[in-house]
Amino acid sequence: MDLSKKNILAKFECFNDHWKPHIIGELNGQLVKLAKLKDDFVWHSHAHEDEYFQVFKGTLYMEFRDRTEVLSAGDMIIVPKGVEHNPYTKDGEEVWVLLFEPASTKHTGEVAHERTHNNQEWI
């Protein structure tokens, strides 16, 4: 286990791609990931895993079938397992998020999409 500190903002500077999470840590079977999001994603759910989203920069829209939650820098939300959701951004804004999810979590659940990235890299 790596006991050295990591600067999250510096880790965000290590990549530029959108909707492709990068792993920065692991604890108790959970992966800690960073992602840059921009524009639309895809409706999906995770049958067996909850997901934690924390916004570091920008405004994230977390769409559910019955409402949309608007998250700003410093906000977080937990999407319970089985709940369909569709994160997106508006007006070309890039949003930086930190994610916690079990290592077994498939990026877009059972949905196959061009934005699906199940082989995520450590940075």
Q: Per-residue pLDDT tens for 9-35?
A: 999 999 999 999 999 999 998 999 999
Q: Read off the pLDDT of residues 94-118 as tens digits, 9 standing for 90 and up.
A: 999 999 888 876 655 565 656 556 5
Residue with tokens 């290590």: 14
Please report the beta strands in the chain, taking only residues with DSSP state E, as ranges in sequence order.
22-27, 30-38, 51-57, 60-63, 68-71, 76-79, 86-88, 94-102
Whether the per-residue pLDDT at 56 is higher than 90: the answer is yes
Query: Cα 5–52–98 angle (5° rounding)?
Result: 40
Show the DSSP H helices in 56-105 as ranges. Answer: none
Distance CA 62, CA 85 (A): 7
